[in-house]
Amino acid sequence: MENIQELNEKIAQYERREKQLEQIEARLRMAIDSTQLGTWEYYPLTGELNWSEECKKIYGVPDGAKITFEAFAKHIYSADNDVVQKAIQKAMEPGGDNHYNITYRITRFDDNSLRWIRAQGKVYFDPAGQVESFIGTVVDITETKLAFEKLARSEKLFKSIAVNIPNSIIIVIDTQCRILAIEGDVMEKMGFDSKNYEGKHLSETGPRERYEATKHLYERVLKGERFSDERTAANGEIYTVHFIPLKTEDGDVEAGLIIALDITDIKQAEERSAKLAAIVESSDDAIISKTFDSIVTSWNNSAQRTFGYTAEEMIGQSILKLIPEDRLEEEPQIIARLKKGERVEHFETKRVTKDGRLLDVSLTISPIKDTQGKVIGVSKIARDITEKKQEETRKNDFIAMVSHELKTPLTSMKSYVQVLLAKEKKDGDSFKINALTRADVQAKKMTSMIQDFLSLARLEDGKITINKEVFDLQPLAEEIINDAKILTSIQSIQLEHAADVRIYADRDKIGQVLTNLVSNAIKYSPKGGNITVGCERINDGKVIIYVSDEGVGINNEDQKKLFDRFYRVRNEKVKTISGFGIGLYLVSEILKYHNSKIEVESEEGKGSRFYFILETV
């Protein structure tokens, strides 16, 4: 009896357990179903393979089709086949951990489409150590995988955009001020690896004080405000920083985008151009820039003062407005020179003002080049020299008048001296002859000085005239040398190779040239030495005419300026020698009128040789 009762109780207990197990299994199944997990069982000994409904759905198995291991193996994507087989072998090795966890691709049974699968399982052994069953789950992870790939692609894209924006750092922060992403070529330049920053709170990326000082900016962007700020880094670099809130579709801020652009170079360039602009604006000269089509692009205060037009009236207009009609051809000539990259310096010309006045201006025009050196425009500095010109004219008029007035009494003085000299030569008083000869030469010297002044005044007025004739060089040179000899006792002056040289030129003016060169040779040889005047025939019926001395010589720097008007060398050796600095200027100008040019070869302390070329007949 007791036994039956015990038995009944045990049966009831089993029944309860079975019910409990059924419930557990039902719950498990529901749980599995809700996760879209497929389950499978494989019995290697018998080859039996069972797939759950979800598993069949994943593989796209048609209704009623029989599942075999071969069929399963056939639908592994060929490239992944090896990996899967190896993983199965490994799981079934006795003594291993017998787990199976693998991601691979399949081709579905129904439409052969490619899917990503994640399979997990475990191998069970019987007491004899034989594989009994291999049980596991499978899930389709194609969508997740694609989403990951897409994310990885976006991340890569973000990185490459960020790295390729020049001089930038781009940071994305979450609402807790943690760095989600940080990139930029500035980071790379500084040798920072973005991986060391990602995930960190902004306060952990540098000194705490810096975070505290900038905290309010992050708070503003995370509150949804979009703004920009200019900040200077500890190393002096200047950044313009854009703060941009990133919002969800509902308008909630989910992240903050911070774009910092290094604008140090731009700032410095701005400062430089501001300084230049200030200089240009405060200049007394008119400073104008224009295109090659003569359209004005900038116009400073002084340009307005000089020409009367405001910047508004001139910018965008043609510069031709300023050029008098009879000088319009100047502009294309200047442009042509500039296009070749040349500069035009101190070009004296005339320009018209807004109210029609004619101004004398001195123009310095240079090409404007871009950073690649390409000529992109023209800058023009115009100086109003009207007053200077008037002053010069007044001075010239004065010099001309004085020289002219001096010439008449001097000529009559010279005649009296010559008459007396002729008389004395007959009477034979050597002292008187000597004294009168010297008086005659000094009068000639004065005449030649006055002649120089008159020539200078005429030259400035453009009134110089050249009267060419054929003459022999030798008698002219002898005349000049003889006069000079009377004045000097320490120099020997000789004439060489001048016989039979016939020249076609202005005899008086060439005489003036030689007089100036010979008197300089004497003047600048205070210790004596040989002076030679001579000729050398060269090709094409031309001669080089030279005057050389063994005097103080001229250094290279002074040689370049020697022929400028009023230029005089200033050094110890010549400081006591008097002069006006117009002799060589006249020499140079007279020779220009003969299509020739004065040249000099000289060495300090050794002497000089001045020479020029003329045509013979």
Residues forming contacts to ligand ADP in the complex (CB under 6 A) are: 516, 520-521, 524, 549, 551-552, 554, 562, 567-569, 574, 579-585, 608
Contacts 24+ apart (CB under 8 A), 149-156: 155/181
Q: Which residues, other chains included, contact 343 with Cβ-Cβ below 8 Å and sequence gap of 6+? A: 364, 365, 366, 367
Tokens 């291999």: give the residue. 134
Residue 404 C-beta: closest distance to ligand ADP, Å:
21
Residue 475 C-beta: closest distance to ligand ADP, Å:
24
Q: Which two tokens stand for residue 571?
A: 């050094």
Query: Quick one: CA torsion of 398, 399, 402, 405, rounded to 10 degrees?
Result: -110
CA angle centred on 427, ends 424 and 433, rounded to 5°: 35
Beta carbon nearer to ligand ADP, 184 or 583: 583
Q: Which two tokens stand for residue 493?
A: 């002056």
Instruction: Say if CB 288 and CB 306 are below 8 A apart.
Output: no
Beta carbon nearer to ligand ADP, 511 or 551: 551
The residues that bridge with 258 in the sheet, in sequence order, are: 171, 243
Beta carbon nearer to ligand ADP, 327 or 606: 606
CA proximity to 531, closest of 494, 577, 498: 494
Q: What is the DSSP letter of 596?
A: -
Beta carbon nearer to ligand ADP, 477 or 584: 584
Beta carbon nearer to ligand ADP, 47 or 581: 581
Beta carbon nearer to ligand ADP, 460 or 549: 549
Residue 476 C-beta: closest distance to ligand ADP, Å:
19
Beta carbon nearer to ligand ADP, 91 or 554: 554
Beta carbon nearer to ligand ADP, 173 or 582: 582
Beta carbon nearer to ligand ADP, 396 or 520: 520
Q: What are phi and psi of 498, to 5 degrees?
A: -95, -5
Residues 119, 102: Cα–Cα separation, whole Å = 5
Residue 569 C-beta: closest distance to ligand ADP, Å:
3
Q: Which two tokens stand for residue 155?
A: 């991340």
Q: What is the torsional sign of CA 279, 281, 282, 288?
A: positive
Distances (CA, A) of 472 to 44, 83, 87, 501, 510: 132, 114, 119, 6, 12
Instruction: Say if CB 469 and CB 500 are below 8 A apart.
Output: no
Beta carbon nearer to ligand ADP, 258 or 484: 484
CA proximity to 288, closest of 326, 320, 245: 320
Q: Which residues, other chains included, contact 325 with Cβ-Cβ below 8 Å and sequence gap of 6+? A: none
Contacts 24+ apart (CB under 8 A), 222-226: 222/173, 222/175, 222/177, 222/253, 222/256, 223/253, 224/253
Residue 562 C-beta: closest distance to ligand ADP, Å:
5
Residue 520 C-beta: closest distance to ligand ADP, Å:
3
Hey, how many other C-beta atoms are within 10 angstroms of the C-beta on 102? 19
Residues 186, 265: Cα–Cα separation, whole Å = 14
Residues 166, 190: Cα–Cα separation, whole Å = 14
Beta carbon nearer to ligand ADP, 528 or 579: 579
Residue 551 C-beta: closest distance to ligand ADP, Å:
5
Residue 446 C-beta: closest distance to ligand ADP, Å:
14
Residue 266 C-beta: closest distance to ligand ADP, Å:
52
Residue 584 C-beta: closest distance to ligand ADP, Å:
3
Beta carbon nearer to ligand ADP, 14 or 580: 580
Residue nearest to ligand ADP as judged by C-beta position? 579
Residues 311, 296: Cα–Cα separation, whole Å = 9
Q: How many residues does this entry show for the chain?
A: 617
Residue 506 C-beta: closest distance to ligand ADP, Å:
19
Instruction: Say if CB 461 and CB 533 are below 8 A apart.
Output: no
Residue 566 C-beta: closest distance to ligand ADP, Å:
8
